[in-house]
Amino acid sequence: MRRKKKKRKLPEAGELNLAAMLDMAFQMLAFFILTFKPAPVEGEVLLRMPPPQPITGTGTKRAGEDTKLDMSQLKPLKTLTISVIPNAQGQIGSNSMQVGEVAVGNLPGLDRQLQTALKEGGFEQVIIQAGSGLHYDALMSVVDVCTRQKVNGTEPLQKLSFVELPSE
């Protein structure tokens, strides 16, 4: 009995070599991973903020009154300024903070002075003047102390602004 030979199929003209395609895909993946540069983190962003301006409030409005703004009702808000001068390491140095004209040495001193000033002074907004070298975490510790304060002993402080300390 004679054996039949099996005919081998020849590759079709349109068939692709998958091994070469996978090789190229992994090379491209490695290239894009190695050349990817992420955006800078938030702490490294240099912000240019506008100079501080007092916020104005209007008197209370009754139902049925005209909606036009009466300029005679505008009054400037009483503003309390906190100045923070950083040390060489970008942190809050000893005796480098002022609340208004009063020097405070550290964050607990700032807390006590703010409690006194906001209760007795009738201030409605706070502006933090920070030196350009102050680190973000040090600024946030000052903001944390400010946001814990109560205006007139009852309502939380809601108007808080930041400006860069003018260079001398």
pLDDT at 154 > cutoff 70: yes
Give CA separation, 97 vs 9, 10, 147, in Å.
86, 85, 17
**Which pLDDT score, from 0 to 100, does residue 161 have?**
79
Instruction: State how beta strands 125-130 and 102-104 pair.
Output: unpaired
| Averaged pLDDT for residues 29-41 | 87
Q: For a pLDDT cut of 90, what percent of the chain falls above it?
A: 10
Q: Which residue has the higher pLDDT, 14 or 36?
A: 36
The overall average pLDDT reported for the chain is 75
Alpha-carbon span 142 to 160, nearest angstrom: 11
Nearest alpha-carbon partner for 77 in 62, 58, 97, 100: 58
Window from 36-40, 43-47, 140-144, 145-149 with minimum mean pLDDT: 43-47
Encoding tokens for residue 107?
A: 């964050």
CA dist list (Å): 129 to 10, 36, 60, 123: 80, 37, 31, 16
H or E segment and range at residue 75: strand 75-76
pLDDT computed for residue 1 by the predictor: 62
> 48 or 114: whose pLDDT is higher?
114
Q: What is the mean pLDDT of residues 68-87?
A: 70
Compare 59 and 139 and report the one with higher pLDDT.
139
Decide if 82 contacts 52 (C-beta within 8 A).
Answer: no
The pLDDT tens digits for 89-107 are 778 877 778 887 778 878 8
Neighbours of 168 (CB within 10 A): 3
Residue 151's CB is within 10 A of a number of other CB atoms, namely 19
- Is the pLDDT at 78 greater than 80? The verdict is no
Are 152 and 37 spatial neighbours (Cβ–Cβ below 8 Å)?
A: no
Look up the pTM and report it.
0.52
pLDDT for the residue 67: 54
